[in-house]
Copies of this chain bind each other. A is one copy, B any other.
Amino acid sequence: MITIYDLAKQTGFSAPTISKALNGNGKLSEETRQTILDAAKKAGYTANMAAKSLSTKHSRLIGVILEDVSMKRGFEHPLFGGLLNKFRNEIEMAGYDLLFLSKHFNEGMSYIDHCRYRDVEGILIVNPIDDDEEMKTLGSCGIPCVSTNEFIPGVCTVVTDNEDAGRTAARVLYDAGHTKVGFLGAPFRENSPAALERFKGFKSELVSYGSDFDERYMEVCDAWWEGAGYEGMKRLWERCPDLTAVFVVCDALAFGAMKYLLEIGKSIPEDISVIGFDDDTTVLKAAPTLCTFRQDRDRIAQLASEMLLQEIAGVPSPEIVRVPAQYVNRSSVRRFNPAREMAY
């Protein structure tokens, strides 16, 4: 391991001068800078981050909170896995490394302690544990934070424009001639209102068409996975067998819902149309292929990294940044009228 002192000895300059040359700060003659840089290169010098971190308090580490309790898929989560791929890439280009924050680290150290332990410079909150009390403290812990899902006081959230997507879903179904449309939701949580926002947009758009949305057509599933969708659809269908379409808050639930409908002998989309959410690759190849909304993982990740890097640099972020979702038309929605040229 070659150090700054080795370089000092080799070039005849002092350690601080080496440091300045390597970091490009302070005033130095172009000549000595080049001499030093060449020597460093020749010697294969690599800085030691622990030492840098200790003296500058800058670790170049971004903490990531990724606890997939709602779907239990971790890195394979349909939204967050892809988001993290892009985020990792962005952050690395800026010279940062990812560091996963964990609660079961060192006999249950808190996220904030984990951050202090590693001198983490910023936190990306991808998916926290439900109702984790510590979340509320993150906004004021002094470390810049950005969230890509949950709303947390004092933390910038970069998130899909769920209301807008909800409105689009309503428009798609309305345009296709559906009048009896249902909504299959998921547990409502104060800080993670995706399901509720999608519902609000959906309902408001329907209302704008003059159709007074009947709350009986709305059902909430117990969780975010397939089985819950099956059960939720069962309850909804048994109450409202006149439905011709249903907008489901995520693809995993939608798949469960379709499973129920197919089991009771319904055809999709002939008897009932289904729209999901997430463009989950896990159900992508199911038949019928599901109309859905693709959340823009790359854009969310990119904006999140921009916001976070900016905050680290001292520039405050907006409280919320919305990213539009893209409607993906496949085969699970029936048209009662001839198709028109339409873009959603």
Binding site for B on A (CB under 8 A): 1, 46-51, 53-54, 59, 74-76, 81-82, 84-85, 88-89, 92-93, 95, 97-100, 102, 104-106, 109, 113, 116-119, 255, 281-287
Q: Are B49 and A118 touching (Cβ within 8 A)?
A: yes
Known contacts A81-B74, A106-B95, A287-B287: does B88 contact A46 (CB below 8 Å)? no
* With known contacts A54-B54, A76-B85, A117–B283 Cβ distance under 8 A: no
Chain B residues within an 8 Å CB radius of A46: 109, 113, 116-117
Give 6 pairs: A residue, B residue, CB < 8 Å, sorted on A.
Answer: A49-B118, A50-B59, A74-B81, A76-B81, A88-B102, A99-B99
Complex CA gap A283/B281 in Å reads: 8
Are the C-beta atoms of A82 and B76 separated by less than 8 Å?
A: yes
How distant is A121 from chain B, measured CB to nearest CB, in Å? 12
A92 in contact with B74 given A97-B100, A285-B283 (CB within 8 Å): no
In the complex, how many angstroms separate the beta carbon of A45 from the nearest chain B beta carbon? Answer: 10
User: Which residues from chain B contact A97 at a C-beta distance below 8 Å?
Assistant: 99-100, 102, 105, 118
**Contact B102 A92, beta carbon cutoff 8 Å:** yes
Beta-carbon contact of B283 and A47 below 8 Å: no
Q: Which residue of B lies closest to A96 (CB)?
A: B105
Chain B residue nearest in CB terms to A64: B98
In order of increasing CB-CB distance, the 3 nearest A-B pairs are: A74-B85, A50-B53, A285-B286
Report A42 CB to chain B, min CB distance, Å: 15
Q: How far is the CA of A293 from the CA of B38 in the complex (A)?
A: 54
Q: Report the bound CA distance from A118 to B1 in whole Å.
A: 12
